Structure 1
Amino acid sequence: MTPGSAVPALRSFGDRLHAVFTERGQLCVGIDPHAWLLTDWDLPDSAAGAESFGRTVVEACAGQVGIVKPQIAFYERYGSAGYAALERVLADARAAGLLVIADVKRGDLGTSAEAYGQAWLSAGSPLEVDAITVNAYMGVGSLAAVIDQAGHEGKGLFLLAATSNPEAAAIQQAVVAGGSQAGLTVAGAIFADVAARNAQDATHALGSLGVVLGATLDLAAFGVDLALAPAQALTPILAPGFGHQGAQVSDMRNLYGGYAQSVIVSESRSVLSAGPRRIAEKIARRVRETGAARG
């Protein structure tokens, strides 16, 4: 894949993710224009500054990595100007052939969930991306409309399951009281539900529904068993926590067991803090390190 080429138009998000893994590896670079990072980059804390930041990150990623993950909150804080800036960053990413995961963490039900899907996953939308993060607090079934849309559009979803913030543990480690998933933790139930949905179509190396599992966590304590992985339709794992938060890519197999080959190694501050003149060099180094860990 070369800068300016499109991500191959394969049938499913899982297929396209697998192609990126094969060609560019598993590193995903976050696009998080924190106010302090904008200052460090000598950019204004404004929509224009966030746009310049994002487009510079995209340019540094093009030809080196296959995945970027813009954190939408850092654009949304500027209102409509921030969304206009984000649209231009996303357009650059599409033109560079990058797979884009928008970190939006949307969660709703019925037509509201459907509308979120239309905003972020519909072909031709100004905000069109390849996948989004979603929140299943009201149950995985509440996302049925956006799950269906993602499938029809060849797009992906990443459901929050075990997140790295300490406040989440009490809820995500809680045990489901009833139904077919009684006895599982909340995190374990979400992972099991997603894995079962992927298994319904076992003709692909990777499924198109993924989960978020933090790399700094003891996932066994969250009731997520990654020891045994299916041979096909492996569930993609979006894994924040590498780099600045302390997780090491050399430990990926110990952290994710049989799912190590489906892990998206997400790094933001550890790469972005290199600054605009050194970010491409830092990305190249992290690509090599992630590739070595993959083997």
Structure 2
Amino acid sequence: MALNNFADRLIEAIEDKKNPAIVGLDPDFSKIPGLLKKKHSTKHGKTFEAVALTTFDFNSQIIEAVKKIVPAVKLQAAFYEQYGWWGVWAMEETAKAAAAAKLVVLIDGKRNDIGNTSQAYADGFLGKVDVFGEKKRSFDADALTVNAYLGSDSVMPFTKVCKEDGSGIFVLVKTSNPSSSELQDLEVNGKKVYEIMAENVNKWGQEVIGERGYSSVGAVVGATFPEQAKALRKLMPKAIFLVPGYGAQGGGADDVVPCFNEDGRGAIVNSSRGIIFAYQNKGNDEKFALFAKEAAEQMKEDLNASLKKAGIHL
């Protein structure tokens, strides 16, 4: 990964593909086509190794299918880590494959802690780690999702790595799940908790603003809350929004428009199940990658149409 600004790289990739949509590689093993499972379990048995090889095979074909359409992919760490060492191997190899395909790589791990533990997360996912006195990268990741509930001192190690290694983070601000309001919508001194977090994101990102005017400290803002997104866009004018909740969670193309600035920048919209498992609605698992490609193209068209209708052009 080149040592430049993450936000600049991401915007360049979006402009190159003329597409703010990204694909979530959330390989729920129960939904991966049976033909791939049979291929690897026949050779390696019903083992964790076979699961990992099946997962990587599936991801590789999805990446090949969408690499000319989308600017980035997002790997949800839980779907890999649940399988232990072999699962982490599949995540690492998937990240390498995506990077080799010239895609921006996000890992959705929602990491955070305090002190040197937070630094270890930052170095491990985004920076470099000590290997017998030499500094080496563990993952081919450009950005990581971060839960900032522990406060500023837990975020500083991540912003430090963003500055030094050209990485990026997306801080949870207003998440797409229905019960997010139980905490995030509470009021403190006349402000919603998510508004206070937005103000912090705006502050944390000041030192890593790129040439294109956007910060490498972004925000997770769900597609399922368009009115809140409109207010958050004003509070975080220089932050790029990572927008989950599109498609399977109920958010539509029109719902994500408030996440964008008038310049057509400022947001990437994630779809996972709706793209990678699109084959399930077609009745043909042999063409799963083709159907994923078609779904990615349709999402691109839908988003651009909604943005254009709102007077926003990429």
TM-score tier (shorter): 0.7 to 0.9
For 1:109, the equivalent position in structure 2 comes to 114
- Say whether residues 1:175 and 2:195 are aligned partners: no
RMSD across aligned positions (CA): 2.5
Compared CA separation, residues 197 and 122, structure 1 to 2 (3 A)? closer
Q: Deviations over 1:188-221 (max 9, x none)?
A: 111111123334547532211001010102543x
**Separation of aligned partners in 2, 1:151 and 1:141:** 16
Instruction: Give the alignment's TM-score, normalised by structure 2.
Output: 0.80
- Which one has a bigger Cα radius of gyration? 2
- Alignment-derived partner of residue 244 in structure 1: 248
Q: Mean Cα displacement is larger for which, 285-294 or 270-279?
A: 285-294
- Contact in 2 for aligned 1:117/1:149 (Cα 8 Å): yes
- Counterpart among 291, 304, 308 of residue 278 in structure 1: 291
2:95 to 90, 107, 119: 90
Conservation of the 8 A alpha-carbon contact between 1:159 and 1:212 = yes
- Contact (CA 8 Å) 2:202, 2:235: kept in 1 or not? no
Whether 1:210 aligns to 2:224 is: no
Q: Is the 8 A contact 1:229 1:259 kept in 2?
A: no
Alpha-carbon distance change, 255 to 125 in structure 1, aligned in 2, over 3 angstroms? closer
Percent same amino acid among aligned pairs?
A: 30
* Contact 1:140 1:190 (8 Å CA) reproduced: no
Checking the alignment, whether the CA contact within 8 Å between 1:27 and 1:264 is kept in structure 2 is yes
Aligned AA for 1:19?
Answer: E
Q: Is the 8 A contact 1:173 1:223 kept in 2?
A: no
* Contact preservation (8 Å) 2:3, 2:165: no
CA distance in 2, matches of 1:55, 1:203: 33
1:38 matched to 2:32? The reply is yes
Residues 63/255 of structure 1: CA separation in 2 closer, same or farther (3 Å cut) = closer
The residue type equivalent to 2:184 in the other structure is: Q
Partner of 2:16: 23
Pair 101,136 (structure 1): closer, same or farther in 2 beyond 3 Å: same
Q: CA deviation at 1:58?
A: 1.3
> In 1, distance between residues paired with 2:153 and 2:100?
34
Q: Which of 150, 156, 172 is 2:162 aligned to?
A: 150
How far the C-alpha of 1:40 sits from its partner, in A, is 6.1
Query: What 5-or-longer segments of structure 1 have no aligned partner?
Result: 1-6, 177-181
**Distance in 2 separating the partners of 1:246 and 1:259:** 26
TM-score, normalisation: structure 1: 0.85
Query: Which one has the bigger helix percentage?
Result: 2
1:229-286 alpha-carbon deviations (Å, 9 max, x no partner): 74xxx21000001112221213432465658631111101111122324212222222
- Between the aligned partners of 1:46 and 1:156, the Cα distance in structure 2 is 30
- The aligned counterpart of 2:68 is 63
Which deviates more, 245-254 or 22-31?
A: 245-254
1:253–1:281 distance in 2 versus 1, CA, 3 Å: closer
**1:187 alignment partner in structure 2:** 194
